[in-house]
Amino acid sequence: MTEEIQNDAVLGATDDNAATGPSFTVEKIYVKDVSFEVPGAPAVFNEQAQPQLSMNLNQQVTRLNDAAFEVVLGITLTCTADDKPMYLAEVKQAGVFGLAGFDAQTLDAVLGTHCPNVLYPYARQLISDLIQAGGFPPFLLQPLNFEALYAEGLRQRATQGLESSEAVGNA
């Protein structure tokens, strides 16, 4: 009996600490949009040129309520050979995340780094599966450093803010 009371007391203390501190939860992960095109099929499979890949990455955040956010990680992968498109893969991998107890700056950082880190492996696998199902050799996107991308985005925002304030000051 004494052991049960002690365990309940410890659990109660942990629950109180969790309720007062920041919390992060993954509520749902899903594919919001997907597209795969092979405009030159079947002739494209006979191409001997070296393929060139370009990737476009974007992220959208929507506040659903006080503590829930939808984060959509968009990846567009374009493969060309001799300036002719071989394939185009577009994936919008999304998730609903519960975030509570964060200050504005930390919340922005979590949404810009941690959430895409959770979503990226799902998008990466889906793109790989699409490319292979499209008749092309398997391809895996390399890991991305979302912390570095977020830091670069902050630097760009700061630079744009300075340019905007200088333009206003000169006007």
pLDDT in tens, 23-61: 999 999 999 999 999 999 999 998 888 999 999 999 999
At 121, which amino acid appears?
P
Q: pLDDT of 133-167, one tens digit each? A: 999 988 889 999 999 999 999 999 888 876 665 55
pLDDT in tens, 95-117: 999 999 999 999 999 999 999 99
> CB atoms < 10 A from the CB of 59, how many?
18
Sequence-separated (6 or more) residues with CB below 8 Å from residue 106 = 22
Instruction: Look up the CATH superfamily of 22-162.
Output: SecB-like (3.10.420.10)
Sequence-distant (6+) residues with CB within 8 A of 127 are 75, 77, 89, 91, 139, 141
The whole-model pTM stands at 0.81
In this predicted structure, what is the pLDDT of residue 136?
93
Distances from the Cα of 121 to the Cαs of 5, 79, 118, 146, 160, in angstroms?
43, 20, 7, 12, 31
- Decide: 151 and 107 in contact? Cβ < 8 Å: no
Statement: residue 168 has pLDDT above 90: no
> What are the residue boundaries of the structural domains of the chain, listed by start?
22-162
What are the backbone angles phi and psi of residue 126, rounded to the nearest 5°? -65, -45
Quick check: helix, strand or coil at residue 154? helix
The contacts of residue 86 (CB under 8 Å, 6+ apart) are 38, 40, 44, 47, 51, 79, 80, 136
- Rounded to 5 degrees, what are φ and ψ at 66? -55, -35
Per-residue pLDDT, 66: 93
Mean pLDDT of 120-128: 97
